[in-house]
Amino acid sequence: MNKASDKPKIGTPKKEKTEPQSLLNGPPQVINLGLASFADELTKQGIVVVHVDWSPPARGDLELANLLSKLSE
Amino acid sequence: MMTTSEKVRSTIREANTEAIRRMLEAEPVLIDVVPASEAIPELQEGMILHAGPPVDWGNMCGPMRGAVTGIAVFEGWATDLTEAERLAESGAFHLKPNHDFGAVGPMTGVTTLSQPVLVVENRARGNYAFCTINEGLGKVMRFGGNDASVLKRLGWLRDTLGPALGSALSVGKGVELKPLVARGLTMGDEMHQRNLGCSSMLLRTLAPNLARTVDDRAELAEILSFIGSNDQFFLNLAMVLGKAIMDPVSGIKGSSVVTAMSRNGTDFGIRVSGLGDEWFTAPVEMPEGLYFPGFSADDANPDMGDSTIVETIGLGGFAMAAAPAVAGFVGVGEPSTAADFTRTMGEITLTQNPEWTIPALDYQGVPTGIDIRLVVETGITPTINTGIAHCKPGIGQVGAGVVRAPLACFEKALKALATQLGVR
């Protein structure tokens, strides 16, 4: 038997030795994308939030976003 | 075979590479101070250059009107402000943007034939740029001031300081400005709302030749005192060196780099390299900032001036990290937040300037080459540090703050560039 055959195939789920953690066992850990007000509200409740300042290209304007797709790298 | 989009992107990439090359290779040198009529032969009697994109008398804001009427009296085209206003309403004055004549001017920016102008040569490209001399703070024409004290100071600039600076500069090879800016960035200047370091270094540079060329000791003392007591004396030089750097960047087909940003108190306008001299405008915004005692936001005029050429070359609001004290002065937050402004401007620029570095950012260069594509994509607009004029003519400066360039200018320019390149 060659060694390569012992390797898990690509796409094969890796067996976990530990039990999956329940999301409800501890305080939530939050990454917030986009609207800062969502992060602000959670922060007010004492929840740790990592906020990512993101918005759709050209603020969602379809014509401009289409032009950007032709003009930008 | 490249697709149409790939060809377009390649065109823009090559054009922007050339635009950045021209920006970074520039060598602006202060070489002379001469009457504006000598520097700009097109200037004639009754012709008034102003800040920003084109604007007629009917659409001019209060301070701009104050400066137009004041300069008309100064030039002897009207006996008093009332007559000057009547003449302006009748269309007797030819009103044109500074930018169309290789010039820039702070705030109202009025430039007329007898005013002395700083002459900067870009020795890398052989072009010249011009700007009037800074009048100091308080009641001055650039903020719309136009009373007897303002006109008297303009007369002194014309008859005494301008000729003296011209004579001093004729001795020697001129003053190289890029090294001054580089040192200013290490001394807490961002070259728009703080010019203390550069103004001091310029005085130190000019003083020996002023002493050699000005015979009258009292006059020499007055000149040295005037420059030495004006922390913003270098602002006009930062502007004119910016104009000298950016003019050769104009007209590179396909380039999406901004070559000028300017405002006339009514509209904000930008120019883009690939789109030549066309202005893309939107209503100018109100600055947010701090006011001198006795004034408030109710007194403020919408933003004004050609001084945004400073941000166009990566200084001013783009170099806020170099000048944490400015963050407090313009009321945008704690000095420790200054670096955030510079980092954010990095999101909408193509490169950094390796010659203009900021110690507080581990000597990263200032964000350079505003790309309209990045502005439209991110929605992040240029941050501008600015002075605030009173909305009524004749009063002057009432505060300092920060204003954003309107996004609509960049959106209009992007559509025009897409049309020019055949993808719209």
Query: Domain extents for chain B?
Result: 11-19+250-420, 27-239
pLDDT for the residue numbered A15: 58
pLDDT at A7: 52
Residue with the bigger pLDDT between A2 and A29: it is A29
Residue A49 domain boundaries: 28-73
- The Cα B341–Cα B332 span in angstroms is 10
User: Lowest-confidence range among A49-58, B306-315, B326-335, B407-416?
Assistant: B326-335
For every residue of B188-245, DSSP letters joined together read T--SSS--HHHHHHHHHHHHHHHHHH---HHHHHHHHHHHHT-TTTTHHHHHHHHHHH
Is the model's pLDDT at B339 over the cut of 80? yes
Q: Using one digit for the tens of pLDDT, what is the confidence trace for B362-376?
A: 999 999 999 999 999
Name the percent of chain B lying above pLDDT 70: 100
- Segment A7-15 mean pLDDT: 55
**What pLDDT shows up at residue A5?**
47
pLDDT band, very low/low/confident/very high, at B93 (cuts 50, 70, 90): very high
In a domain, A18, yes or no: no
Judged by phi (left if over 0) then psi (alpha if -120 to 50, else beta), residue A45 lies in alpha
Interval B121-169: pLDDT, tens? 999 999 999 999 999 987 899 999 999 999 999 999 999 999 999 999 9
pLDDT at A3: 46
Distance CA(B53)–CA(B265), nearest Å, equals 10
pLDDT tens for residues A15-69?
A: 556 666 677 777 788 999 988 999 999 999 999 999 998 888 999 999 999 999 9
The pLDDT tens digits of the residues spanning B236-294 come to: 999 999 999 999 999 999 999 999 999 999 999 999 999 999 999 999 999 988 898 99
* B94-124 pLDDT, tens digit each: 999 999 999 999 999 999 999 999 999 999 9
Burial class (CB in 10 A: 0-12, 13-18, 19+), B46: middle
The answer, yes or no, to whether residue B355 has pLDDT greater than 80, is: yes
The pLDDT confidence band at residue A2, using thresholds 50, 70 and 90, is very low
Does residue A34 sit within a domain? yes
Q: Classify B27-239 by CATH class.
A: alpha beta
Alpha helices in B233-319 (DSSP H): 235-246, 309-312
Q: Edge to edge, what strands does the sheet with B288-291 contain?
A: B288-291, B397-404, B383-389
Judge: A71–B414 Cβ closer than 8 Å, yes or no. Answer: yes
pLDDT surpassing 70 at residue B1: yes
> Could you tell me if residue A60 is inside a domain?
yes
Residue range B11-19+250-420, CATH number: 3.90.1700.10
Compare CB distances from B414 to A55, A67, A69 and report the shortest one's residue: A67
Are B377 and A68 inside 8 Å of each other by CB? yes
**Residue B346: pLDDT above 90?**
yes
Q: How far is A30 from chain B (nearest CA, A)?
A: 24
Angle between helices B217-228 and B162-170 (to 10 degrees): 100
Enumerate chain A positions whose Cβ falls within 8 A of a Cβ in B. 55, 57-59, 61, 63-64, 67-73
What phi, psi does B188 have (nearest 5°)?
90, 10
- Residue A57 domain-assigned (yes or no): yes
Task: State the DSSP code for B300.
Answer: B
Q: What is the DSSP string of A4-70?
A: GGGSPPTTPPPPPSSPPPPTTSS---EEEES-HHHHHHHHHTT--EEEE----GGGG-HHHHHHHHH
In a domain, A14, yes or no: no
**What is the separation of C-alpha B409 from the centre of its chain, rounded to a whole number of angstroms?**
18
Instruction: Please give the model's pTM, rounded to 2 decimal places.
Output: 0.91
The answer to whether residue A37 sits within a structural domain is yes
A67 with B5: Cβ contact below 8 A: no
Count of domains observed in chain A: 1
pLDDT of residue A21: 67
**Nearest residue on chain B to A59, judged by CA atoms?**
B379
Q: What is the mean pLDDT of chain B?
A: 96
Find all residues with CB under 8 Å of A62, minimum gap 6, and list them: none
